[in-house]
Amino acid sequence: MPTDGDYSFSGRADDVAAVVDALGFERMIFVGHSGGGAVALHCAARLTTRVVDVLLVDPAGDGRLIPEETRHEFLEKLRSPAYATTARDYYASIAGPNADVRERVLWDLAATPPTSVIGMFEALATRRAVELRRLSRTTR
């Protein structure tokens, strides 16, 4: 979790880049799933000479395409005492039909601090897919 409270995709890419530098990685492949896809693209744009490839697995779309009222209502529920139920219901709905996968997704959710989950959804709600397309082209 970021100590500076910056859950933006750019901020998370800064954190990843700092770890990559600290570990001395010269070449790397980034793999990103869901919101991690945006982080992977931001990292690739920052570290263009060191990135071998980027693999995106079911990356999140442009959050602005969700009606503003729906985004606002969902974020307000996450910020309220209804956080646990709202987050659990959402993740259970996207985990798919496999009970083992759903159980693991919900276990991961329970292990993640609410501030991280809320920060990620806030970043997704304002993220622009067009910016990510621009970033992805800079890696080739």
Looking at residue 140, its pLDDT comes to 47
The type of residue at 42 is H
pLDDT digits (tens, 9 = 90+) for 88-128: 999 999 888 999 999 999 999 999 989 989 988 888 887 65
For residue 81, being part of any structural domain is answered with: yes
Q: Is residue 2 part of a domain?
A: no
In a domain? residue 119: yes
If one counts the domains in the chain, the total is: 1
In a domain, 110, yes or no: yes
Question: Is residue 1 in some structural domain?
Answer: no
**Res. 134: pLDDT tops 60:** no
Residue 58 tokens, joined: 């079911």
Note the pLDDT of residue 54: 92
Structural domain harbouring 38:
9-137
What is the distance of C-alpha 40 from the center of its chain? 9
Residue at 4 is within a domain: no
Q: CA Rg, the chain, in Å? A: 16
Q: Is residue 112 in some structural domain?
A: yes
Residue 105's closest CA among 56, 33, 55?
A: 33
The C-alpha atoms of residue 3 and residue 17 are separated, in whole angstroms, by 15
In a domain, 3, yes or no: no
Look up the CATH number of the domain holding residue 25.
3.40.50.1820
Tokens of residue 55, six digits: 């693999």
